[in-house]
Amino acid sequence: MLQFIIQFPTVSNSYQMVSTLLQRSAALSSEGQKLKCPNTLNRMLNSTGKIALVTGASRGIGAAVSHRLAERGVDIVVNYRSKAPRAEAVAETIQRLGRRAVLAQADITQESDVNGMIQIVKDQFSHLDYLILNASGGLEKDKPADYAMMLNLTAQEQLVDRTIPLMQPGGRIVFVTSHLAHFYGQKPVHGLYEPVAASKQAGEQALRRRIPELTDKGISLIVVSGDLIEGTITPKLMERSSPGLIEARREQAGVLPTVEEFARAIAEACVDPARSSGETVFVGSTDWE
Ligand SMILES: NC(=O)c1ccc[n+]([C@@H]2O[C@H](COP(=O)([O-])OP(=O)(O)OC[C@H]3O[C@@H](n4cnc5c(N)ncnc54)[C@H](OP(=O)(O)O)[C@@H]3O)[C@@H](O)[C@H]2O)c1
């Protein structure tokens, strides 16, 4: 497992920097002048001290969720499987937003990779507040027949097993899914996506069964489900085997959510203390026959 860490100020360094900036600001203001770096001060003060691990954060929805959480003052462990340059770009944006970003390369279906990623979290932050289970797949052609279940069910549960000991009361797990998976068995699914829908629904149900155990530890689970997301790769792959699928769904639903809209809903579900464990947040229309 490759590991690449972008070092940003540690929590204690951050306090020192804020303290220094506040003292400097007060001194200048008594002289009738202004601090030249108010944005830096604002960013430091914006910290919630919370830490999120976002799986599949190198691109698409996971990258956008990481940015939205960083805007809300959360430091991010940016997990990626293979797209290191993209993950580094995500981390740089997080840094520009004033937050800490740590890169953790890990194929979450590989135990040794997950061990390495957990070690990075322990070494860099010592605990986690949020786990965003965003990474997903199952349409890959070069994988075994049970790969969708390995990734969307087994790996999700194992990641929860490994991160629970790092979470404190008040921690939250967010499982990101699709309407096609959430309603699998109740509403029709296009053939190509069926193994993904079945495995993601199995993953969601397996996590829901753990709500009592999570509640005992003060950890909540929120599921965020999205319609087809405009411009993303999965609907484009589905379109190849079912031409016209995206336009038909757009017409039926009125509008498809964008990556930004979905990501904002996921970030909101992550930090909103008013949400109850087991809640499902729907993004985009859930109507189809
Ligand atoms: N796109 C949609 O229309 C849509 C609709 C509803 C819900 N969702 C949900 O939104 C989430 C993100 O979807 P997306 O469209 O952004 O997906 P995507 O573009 O296919 O990106 C998948 C992400 O997961 C990572 N990943 C894949 N397999 C992995 C593995 N074995 N270990 C670690 N990381 C892995 C990828 O990493 P690399 O880049 O390094 O390979 C990538 O960052 C998924 O849970 C999906 O079900 C998507």
CATH of the domain at 135: 3.40.50.720
Same domain membership, residue 265 and residue 170 = yes
Write the pLDDT tens digit of every residue in 244-267: 999 999 999 999 999 999 999 999
Say if ligand 1 is within 6 A of residue 228 CB.
Answer: yes
Report the separation in Å between the CA atom of 31 and the middle of ligand 1, taken as the mean of its atom positions.
Answer: 53
Strand ranges across the sheet with 220-226: 101-105, 74-80, 50-54, 128-133, 167-178, 220-226, 280-283
Say if ligand 1 is within 6 A of residue 284 CB.
Answer: no
Which residue's alpha carbon is nearest to atom 48 within ligand 1?
Answer: 178
Query: 0.75 exceeded by the pTM?
Result: yes
- Non-local CB neighbours of 245 within 8 Å, separated by 6+ positions: 190, 235, 238, 239
Residue (of 5, 138, 151) closest to 84 by Cα position: 5
Same domain membership, residue 262 and residue 219 = yes
What residues does 150 pair with on adjacent strands? none
List the domain range (segments joined by +) for residue 28. Answer: 13-45
In a domain, residue 3? The reply is no
Residue (of 37, 179, 189) closest to 98 by Cα position: 37
Answer whether 242's CB lies under 8 Å from 188's CB.
no
Query: According to the model, what pLDDT value does residue 265 have?
Result: 98
Give the start-end residues of each E strand in the chain. 50-54, 74-80, 101-105, 128-133, 167-178, 220-226, 280-283
Query: According to the model, what pLDDT value does residue 158 have?
Result: 98
Query: According to the model, what pLDDT value does residue 36 have?
Result: 57
Same domain membership, residue 171 and residue 223 = yes
In a domain, residue 36? The reply is yes
Same domain membership, residue 61 and residue 29 = no
Task: Provide the domain count of the chain.
Answer: 2
Write the pLDDT tens digit of every residue in 119-172: 999 999 999 999 999 999 999 989 999 999 999 999 999 999 999 999 999 999
Query: According to the model, what pLDDT value does residue 11 have?
Result: 46
What residues does 80 pair with on adjacent strands? 105
Same domain membership, residue 25 and residue 108 = no
Same domain membership, residue 124 and residue 29 = no
Same domain membership, residue 82 and residue 198 = yes
Same domain membership, residue 167 and residue 38 = no
Same domain membership, residue 264 and residue 143 = yes
Low-confidence ranges of the chain (pLDDT < 50): 1-11
Report the separation in Å between the CA atom of 159 and the middle of ligand 1, taken as the mean of its atom positions.
Answer: 16
Same domain membership, residue 122 and residue 227 = yes
